[in-house]
Structure 1
Amino acid sequence: MADSVFVLRNFLVVSLAMNMCLIWKISYDDEETLTSKWSSWGNLQQKLHHHGSCITGEKNNGRVEEAQDNKRTEILPTTSFGAAPVVPDGGESVVINLDHGDPTMYETFWKQKGEETTVVTSGWQHISYFSDIKNVCWFLEPELVSAITRLHKVVGNAITEGRHLVVGTGSSQLYQAALFALSPPNASQPMNVVSAAPFYSSYPLMTDYLKSGLHKWAGDAHQFNKEKPYIELVTSPNNPDGFTRQDVVKGHKGILIHDLAYYWPQYTPILSPANYDIMLFTVSKSTGHAGSRIGWALVKDREVAKKMTTFIEINTIGVSKDSQIRAAKILQAVAGSCDDDESFFDYSYKVMEKRWKKIREAVDKTELFSLPEFSPETCAFSGRSFGQLPAFAWLKCEGEVEDCESFLRKNKIYTRGGKHFGVSTKFVRISMLCRDTEFALFTERLPAIIS
């Protein structure tokens, strides 16, 4: 018996030694092969970043190395949960990707909540396509209806009474559903779709992606001929510049869609409940849960709500019940926290206020850049008086710099340029919703840039 134990023990020691050697070999594999592999991933990221891709290439140790200007450049991991990698040069070689609006800023708050917002689903649950066949939106979960209605009432940012609620896979699907519902099916020409520049960069792409005969992108609302039928998109607060908006065209043949993704008290003072015919919201920017892909529309007209539901029915045969139940749990937690000493919106407001203070301090240290100014207003929800704290910074390159996006890219800061928003290339949109490590590195680098 003792001999058997001895043999087994020696076998385990030898096995451990062999595994350690294998791990050592993998760790110190041929550097050129690794660099080539990571370079390909980095190139894919660059190709996709204009379309809002969140790919940053987290791999092995959470970093991607890409070949750029014949130098190895490290990309800060925006998908890892740990701290940023230690870079020998103090961070100068790190590429900071602030092109997309991935709301990872909110991770810290939700980690603190622990099991409070955890959802456990049994295998037999949520099997059916149907949720509530009596509802116009038959795949809408009653729990989500209750959570959305409660949250809007607590915050006071939208009227829900007399509205039909339609759920979508993010507000992007709801936007397309609304275009489908509002465009005449037998018109001789496609319905014109406009928005005041700078407009959300994905509007043109989403409007024309399927090259539908129902509707077409017609550009800047300021330049539109008022005599033609049109749908105007009003984003307020606006993405990318953060200002509150009203409709621009004001023609008698127009229909309005209000995108209110950022009408929450961490970004803007809530002045009164929004009361429009079609209002779009999303959990991605209200609570930070972009990965759940849940948005909702508050629709006054029943027939429009039915047509929007039909679009989603044809498009995806409904919306994930698992995502709806998770979103309901989170929205209820947000509404419930409003009675706490520090609610979700208090926490988020303080983070945004601190970040905007830091970015303004960084910009003030250089004459190369400028930011918009916002007048303070009193928020009916919090009682605070403050100016806008947008989810994106609308940065302008001053002086002789004409292409701000390319200029910042040379300094390893990825942004989205003004041309994607229908305005001058002297502007860029910068996400304010990244993790603390990225934001700190960005505000340190910005004032150090020289022309």
Structure 2
Amino acid sequence: MESTKLLNDGAKQIMVQTKDHNLSNGGDVVIDLDRGDPKMFYTYWKKVDNECSVNIKASELISYFPNPKDADFFCQMPEFIDAVHRVHRLVGNAVTEGRYIIEGTGSSQLFIAALRALACTAKETTSNKKHIPVVCAEPYYSFYKEVIEQERSELYQWKGDANTFQSESGPYIEVVTSPNNPDGTTRKPVLKGEEGMVIHDLAYYWPHYTPITSPADYDVMLFTLSKATGHAGSRVGWAIVKNKEIAKKIHKHLFLMSIGSCQEGFIRATKIIHFVADSYEHDVDYMLVKPPKVPVLFEAEGLFDYGHRILALRWKRLRAIAQRSEVVSLPDFSPEFCNFKGKLTYPTPGI
């Protein structure tokens, strides 16, 4: 038996009645369709609390500027940038060499900064005084539409589904989320306009969610710690940008918004990212310099393997529930060769 419950904020839950004790002890199974919270990683991190702890003294991190010697990117923390290079080199999910890495308060802040940077650049190179259209193929992450409409920017305007967008000649911005939120599919740009610009939101392009088939190499790519390691509360994100002028515009916007990001959060993120990399033996270059000190518990299972295993179990349970339901249907995913794991793996979306 199924019923749909409307929550106070408009979110929906589906109640599924089941007699399978392996699923829900014979009671109702509640499926929250609106919000996600990466607490599935809690058990993993609880067991390594001491290994990932950081100690910050009262005399530290007083300055606004963690990197004052870099005139263009003075708000960027070099230690964190090194950690980002390392983990992407390890996983093979993004090209970082020769790119500009920009820190942000989660990828949400970086998304707005990237929109502004691209729209400003387009305005500088065209006489078009209209808003720059922003589109994304349905189904899309609802945050994009909500935040753009909330801003009411003079630079850009939300124009909805990229599949139905009727483009006149001129610039536009397409947002590509891959794997996509909310359906977990692999996405590519829909539009092919010569003046088009693309923001690639790759928050879920990690091996616990999807096979890593090749390193992403796009003009603007967004990542977030909340999806990579589950530490959503730290509000840590980063953009990987090809063009220096675009990167400088993103950095300037972030500086004007908040005079940089919380350095304590990025110190914590640096420690956590290095721990994740230490738990794998794939990174030969790093191993030659600093052999990892890996807790015995994780010698056989790093974070990405743990996450993939837990998500696979949850998808198995969810499919068992869906088979009993006339309301819920789930997509089928095909396996692909994952370069990180070195074998065929099935996608296990975290959404």
State the alpha-carbon separation in 1 of the partners of residues 330 and 31 from structure 2.
Answer: 19
Aligned to 1:109: 44
Deviation of the 1:224 alpha carbon: 1.3
Aligned to 1:262: 204
Cα displacement string for residues 281-338 of structure 1 (whole angstroms, at most 9, x for unaligned residues)? 0000010000000000000000000000111011111000000100111111111112
TM-score with structure 2 setting the length: 0.84
What amino acid is the match of 1:297? A
Once the two structures are overlaid, the 10-residue window that deviates more, 236-245 or 353-362, is: 353-362
Deviation of the 1:49 alpha carbon: 5.2
State the alpha-carbon separation in 1 of the partners of residues 66 and 222 from structure 2.
Answer: 21
Aligned to 2:300: 341
State the alpha-carbon separation in 2 of the partners of residues 134 and 389 from structure 1.
Answer: 43
- Asked if residue 170 in structure 1 is aligned to residue 129 in structure 2, the reply is no
- Asked if residue 356 in structure 1 is aligned to residue 297 in structure 2, the reply is no
Cα displacement string for residues 22-76 of structure 1 (whole angstroms, at most 9, x for unaligned residues)? xxxxxxxxxxxxxxxxxxxxx9x723759xxxxxxxxxxxxxxxxxxxxxxxxxx
SS in 2 for 1:232: strand
- Asked if residue 212 in structure 1 is aligned to residue 153 in structure 2, the reply is yes
Cα displacement string for residues 61-109 of structure 1 (whole angstroms, at most 9, x for unaligned residues)? xxxxxxxxxxxxxxxxxxxxxxxxxxxx9765x9664521110110000
**Equivalent residues of 1:338, 1:344 under 8 A apart:** no
Identity of counterpart residues, as a percentage? Answer: 48
- Asked if residue 132 in structure 1 is aligned to residue 67 in structure 2, the reply is yes
What amino acid is the match of 1:325? I
> Equivalences for 1:413-432 in 2 at 5 Å?
none
State the alpha-carbon separation in 2 of the partners of residues 384 and 295 from structure 1.
Answer: 29
Aligned to 1:181: 117
**Equivalent residues of 1:166, 1:296 under 8 A apart:** yes
State the alpha-carbon separation in 1 of the partners of residues 170 and 11 from structure 2.
Answer: 35
What amino acid is the match of 1:139? C
State the alpha-carbon separation in 2 of the partners of residues 362 and 121 from structure 1.
Answer: 46
What amino acid is the match of 1:209? Q
Cα displacement string for residues 402-427 of structure 1 (whole angstroms, at most 9, x for unaligned residues)? xxxxxxxxxxxxxxxxxxxxxxxxxx
SS in 2 for 1:209: helix
Deviation of the 1:151 alpha carbon: 0.3
Aligned to 2:229: 287
What amino acid is the match of 1:384? K
What amino acid is the match of 1:234? V
**152, 165, 176: which is aligned to 1:224?**
165
Cα displacement string for residues 180-216 of structure 1 (whole angstroms, at most 9, x for unaligned residues)? 1011356511110001000111001112212110011
**Equivalent residues of 1:137, 1:167 under 8 A apart:** no
Deviation of the 1:387 alpha carbon: 2.5
SS in 2 for 1:221: coil
Cα displacement string for residues 343-362 of structure 1 (whole angstroms, at most 9, x for unaligned residues)? 11111110011111111122
**Equivalent residues of 2:11, 2:33 under 8 A apart:** no
Q: Which runs of 5+ in 1 are unaligned?
A: 1-42, 51-88, 393-451
SS in 1 for 2:277: helix
Aligned to 2:258: 316
Which is higher, the Rg of structure 1 or of structure 2?
Answer: 1
State the alpha-carbon separation in 2 of the partners of residues 90 and 316 from structure 1.
Answer: 50
Aligned to 1:141: 77
Aligned to 2:193: 251
SS in 2 for 1:46: coil
State the alpha-carbon separation in 1 of the partners of residues 272 and 182 from structure 2.
Answer: 26
What amino acid is the match of 2:329? S
Q: Which runs of 5+ in 2 are unaligned?
A: 1-5, 13-24, 282-298
> Equivalences for 1:6-405 in 2 at 5 Å?
46-47=8-9, 92=28, 97-135=32-70, 136-184=72-120, 185=123, 187-226=128-167, 227-339=169-281, 340-392=299-351
State the alpha-carbon separation in 1 of the partners of residues 188 and 224 from structure 2.
Answer: 20
State the alpha-carbon separation in 1 of the partners of residues 326 and 344 from structure 2.
Answer: 29
SS in 2 for 1:123: coil
Deviation of the 1:370 alpha carbon: 1.4
State the alpha-carbon separation in 2 of the partners of residues 95 and 152 from structure 1.
Answer: 36
State the alpha-carbon separation in 2 of the partners of residues 106 and 244 from structure 1.
Answer: 24
Larger helix proportion of the pair? 1
**Equivalent residues of 2:335, 2:346 under 8 A apart:** yes
State the alpha-carbon separation in 2 of the partners of residues 191 and 295 from structure 1.
Answer: 25
**Equivalent residues of 1:236, 1:259 under 8 A apart:** yes
How many corresponding residue pairs? 311
What amino acid is the match of 1:127? I
State the alpha-carbon separation in 1 of the partners of residues 277 and 199 from structure 2.
Answer: 26
TM-score with structure 1 setting the length: 0.66
CA separation of 1:319/1:48 partners in 2, compared to 1, >3 Å: closer, same or farther? farther
Once the two structures are overlaid, the 10-residue window that deviates more, 126-135 or 215-224, is: 126-135
